[in-house]
Amino acid sequence: MTEDVLTRIEGGVGRITLNRPKALHALNTVMCAAMIEALLAWREDPAVTLVLLDHSGERGFCAGGDIRMLAESGAKDGVEARAFFHTEYRLNALLEAYRKPVVACMDGIVMGGGVGLSLPCAYRIATERTAFAMPETGIGLFPDVGGGWWLPRMPGETGLWLALTGARIKAADCLLLGIATDYVQSAGLEALKAAILADPAAIDTLLTEHEADAGEPPLARHQDPIDACFAAPTVEAILQALREDGSEWAIAQHDLLLTKSPQTLKVAFRQLRLGRGLARFADNMAMEYRIGARVVMRHDFIEGVRAVIVDKDNQPKWSPPVLEEVSDGLLDGIFAPLPPGEEWTPLR
């Protein structure tokens, strides 16, 4: 048990509360293991009819994984980083296949690991404080925790746009893309949670009663150019399409992509294109584990963490420095099967 995650049964509800507010509830291996333990215990427990996943404090749901640890491990032998990925991805897969409804309260920042926790849930509640993003291309990682599964299944090419640009979107856009299923005002969230704890069987009625208006989604006006430009067959062709579009919005996306890790842009592009064609979530997680086991030890991730999180100069020196130098052979090596006995496997 860890104080960074609080697990208990309240009424007929299994409740998991992320409790690492100073780190914006960033996940570590112990936290993921604690959530797995609780979910497995409740899976066949007739006393638990629903699971509620929330967080303490007001700053955010979950800002991702313990990036510093991953970079420090990747700079050495990568063992600790791989152990984290293996455990976290098992948690993601457990949630995706969970037979009891899970409610995620996406109040505040939802990034990286927080996306992996929330998107598998049947009910995903956004508030006016929700800020959703997969910003991994900016630190040389990749949009993991199931990103290869969830993102290409969003409308049109919006998932690929999110993955490559790392764009941050709010609640109305989360509803538009199916990232969130419901919207409530943060001021009413505690009352909603209390009502769910009192009567979990009434979850649908309660969400309707507490529903609020998130407003118009700003992203709606950009869906057509996203679908047109990001449907291109390569990352280089996406950049060309954005240049040819020429609108202020398209040029802003183009210039933003040029700041990202070229390696990661091509990894994410291949990841989502492959993920779109997979039949099982577990197959996607096995693919992502192969990527993660290798990318975490490569220059761009260690350099991206240095530039964005450690030194905060925001001047990463990517290698290769341009898309044209990220070869198919380099990508093939990142995506290749791992040696026997080292592949990711889901929980039985």
Tell me which residues are annotated as active site. Answer: 65, 113, 136, 144
* Cα–Cα dist 264/143, whole Å: 9
* Cα–Cα dist 20/64, whole Å: 12
* Cα–Cα dist 27/11, whole Å: 27
What DSSP string runs through 87-117? HHHHHHHHHHT-SS-EEEEE-SEEETHHHHH
Helix (H) or strand (E) segment spanning residue 289: helix 281-295
Show Cβ contacts of residue 9 under 8 Å, excluding neighbours closer than 6 positions. 15, 42, 45, 47, 48
What number of other Cβ atoms are within 10 A of residue 325's Cβ?
A: 12
In this structure, what token pair is assigned to residue 105? 């309260």
Distances from the Cα of 265 to the Cαs of 10, 87, 270, in angstroms?
A: 44, 25, 9
* Cα–Cα dist 55/75, whole Å: 31
